[in-house]
Amino acid sequence: MVDKSNLAYKFQEIEKEIDYTYLPDPLKFTSISLTEVFNNKLRLEASAFSLQARKAREKLKKCKNGASQLFPNPSFVVNAFHAPRFKRQYVQSTVPNSVGFLGSAEMLNTKPNPIKFIPNEQALKNRLYVKKETILISCSGTIGNTTFVNRTLEKYAFSQHIIRLICREYPGYIYAFLNTSEAQAQIQSLTYGAVIPEIEPHHLENVIIPNAPKPLKKEIHELIIKSFDLRDESNDLIDKAQQNLYSELQLKPIEDLKAEYFDSSIDLRNYSTKLSDLHLRLEASFHVPSTQAILKAIKQHAKEVTNIGDKRISSNIILPGRFKRIYVEKHNGIPFFGGKQLLELNPSNIKYLSLDQHSKRISEQLFLKENMIAVTCSGTIGKVNIIPKHWENWTLNQHVMRIVPSNPDIAGYVFCWLNTEFGHRLITRHTYGSVVDEIDDRHLSQVEIPLLKDEQKQKLINDLVLKANELRHEAHLKEQKAIEKIKEIINSTVNTN
């Protein structure tokens, strides 16, 4: 008979009641040989001998066609390098021969909108330009994010925190592989640095890639090429829509708008505001003359200037409430990301939100639907995107507001306007907060939007944007098809029968 008063028995009962759901993962450990240490250049960090990376390499070596070194390899990557470190000389975008300067986060955007510019001479001197079909990998801070240089990206300069991969042939095949978990596990194991994680180009010598027959490599490569060509086409349509919008409203570059100051005789910007225009906002930033100049410019040639909250424009503006997030494994949750990834076609570093724990909030506030317009409202204010089809039923965090268009005939036009520099200025004028910048749904509802006299031109702009959004979805499908094909290669094994 068991003595239930026994202390050991009581501890056993308590042990059974513990919920391990949110406790840290169990300790992982393994043994390594001295040869592995020497082959890994005498590195002693545990991450350098990652179990996930080891499993990935073992799996790749068993592939039907074997595996080989990624770099240097005449069949795959013939050169890997990053730009030299240099002192950056930032200039205004209006300075002649200036070029947009992109970092490792901005390079992932489908249509980058650079906020930093450097002189063209500095970009050339430091080898900051890249050619089409170059693969870019982030190598500082967030490690392993990858993109493929298309026509949109080749006109920009890229920071030294990005590794450039030059491939002999089929770079699309290599790009697709680098987006698999097997490639990412290997790359993550290469990091060093106590404060900021880093990798160097020569570390990629430890990454292996599966071999495949040339026809299959070519097929995967062409899928990636087509995916990035579709992104270029999408960006062209959005540019065309904005050109039509600017032309119809006869808008000059925003820098050329003339602001009216109270007293221009002194070397200090000063201005007056009517009491009726105060709106109980006492910050000077809300009443800057440039905003009034924008409103004056759009009123001159618009049929009407209304606001986003107008029921003809939007049926709802959703600002999700703050909540404690519960993350789960991929197969148990729903994709969840934030404003940082809003402009990416395939958001990086996605987390998965528990559907069981957040079902009501997800259905009421977080779910995304095609052609909703998302606007960041905390931290970086005013980043705008139109939701593509493959984001349907995904979720965005509470730092991104959703505009639900009143109908599909206005959705593309609303995005086109808010995505201009004029729309961005009208959004950001509402910013408040002494530490972290914020706006809310009430502010967004007050943002002005012009309606055009020519309704057919407004429809054309709307249709161009919606077509661009469809092309982005097609680009996503092409990329995912390529990645699925390379996963099939990875999962193929040598027939031992």
Rounded mean pLDDT of 406-434? 95
> What's residue 434's pLDDT?
82
Q: Indicate if the pLDDT at residue 342 is higher than 80.
A: yes
Query: Residue 42 has which token pair?
Result: 């005498």
DSSP state of 166: E
Q: Which residue has the higher pLDDT, 495 or 330?
A: 330
Q: What order do you get walking across the sheet with 351-354 strand by strand?
A: 351-354, 333-337, 395-396
Extract the runs of DSSP E, i.e. beta strands, from 57-102.
67-69, 77-81, 98-102
Q: Which residue has the higher pLDDT, 16 or 428?
A: 428
Contacts of 163 (CB under 8 A, 6+ apart): 80, 81, 82, 136, 137, 138, 139, 199, 201, 204
Helix (H, G, I), strand (E, B) or coil at 448: strand
Same fold: 34-211 with 237-474: yes
Q: Where are the alpha helices (DSSP H) in 141-213?
A: 171-178, 181-188
> What's residue 155's pLDDT?
95
How sure is the predictor about 281, in pLDDT bands with cuts at 50, 70 and 90?
Answer: confident
> What's residue 255's pLDDT?
82
> What's residue 16's pLDDT?
46
> What's residue 226's pLDDT?
98
Q: Which CATH fold would you assign to the domain 237-474? A: Adenine-n6-DNA-methyltransferase TaqI; Chain A, domain 2 (3.90.220)
Tell me how far apart the alpha carbons of residues 220 and 486 are, in angstroms, rounded to a whole number: 8
Residue 295 parent element (H or E): helix 289-301
Bridge-based pairing state of the strands 135-140 and 117-119 = unpaired
The answer to whether 428 touches 403, Cβ cutoff 8 Å, is no
Rounded mean pLDDT of 17-25? 53
Rounded mean pLDDT of 177-201? 93
Residue 460 parent element (H or E): helix 455-491
How sure is the predictor about 17, in pLDDT bands with cuts at 50, 70 and 90?
Answer: very low
The answer to whether 201 touches 138, Cβ cutoff 8 Å, is no
How do the domains of the chain map onto residue ranges?
Answer: 34-211, 237-474
Query: Residue 479 has which token pair?
Result: 């990329």
At 194-239, the pLDDT tens digits run: 889 999 999 999 999 999 999 999 999 999 999 999 999 999 999 9
At 120-133, the pLDDT tens digits run: 999 999 999 999 99
> What's residue 495's pLDDT?
57
CB-CB neighbours of 182 under 10 Å: 25
At 450-473, the pLDDT tens digits run: 999 999 999 999 999 999 999 999
> For a pLDDT cut of 70, what percent of the chain falls above it?
94
Q: Where are the alpha helices (DSSP H) in 302-439?
A: 355-361, 408-418, 421-428
The answer to whether 337 touches 350, Cβ cutoff 8 Å, is yes
Rounded mean pLDDT of 373-379? 96
Bin 433: left if φ > 0, else alpha if -120 < ψ < 50, else beta.
Answer: left
Average pLDDT score, the chain:
90
Rounded mean pLDDT of 247-252? 94
Tell me how far apart the alpha carbons of residues 304 and 461 are, in angstroms, rounded to a whole number: 17
Extract the runs of DSSP E, i.e. beta strands, from 270-429.
304-307, 314-318, 333-337, 351-354, 373-376, 384-386, 395-396, 400-405
Helix (H, G, I), strand (E, B) or coil at 101: strand
Q: Indicate if the pLDDT at residue 187 is higher than 90.
A: yes
> What's residue 32's pLDDT?
81
The answer to whether 182 touches 63, Cβ cutoff 8 Å, is no
CATH architecture of 34-211: Alpha-Beta Complex (3.90)
Helix (H, G, I), strand (E, B) or coil at 121: helix
> What's residue 270's pLDDT?
77
Rounded mean pLDDT of 280-309? 89
Q: Indicate if the pLDDT at residue 14 is higher than 80.
A: no
At 423-433, the pLDDT tens digits run: 999 999 999 98
Taking alpha carbons only, the member of 396, 404, 328, 390 closest to residue 367 is 396
At 22-63, the pLDDT tens digits run: 556 677 777 888 887 777 777 777 777 888 999 999 999 999
Rounded mean pLDDT of 398-404? 96
The answer to whether 474 touches 230, Cβ cutoff 8 Å, is yes
Global pTM value = 0.89
> What's residue 396's pLDDT?
95
> What's residue 6's pLDDT?
57
Rounded mean pLDDT of 316-332? 92
Q: Is 187 exposed, middle or buried (0-12, 13-18, 19+ CB in 10 A)?
A: buried
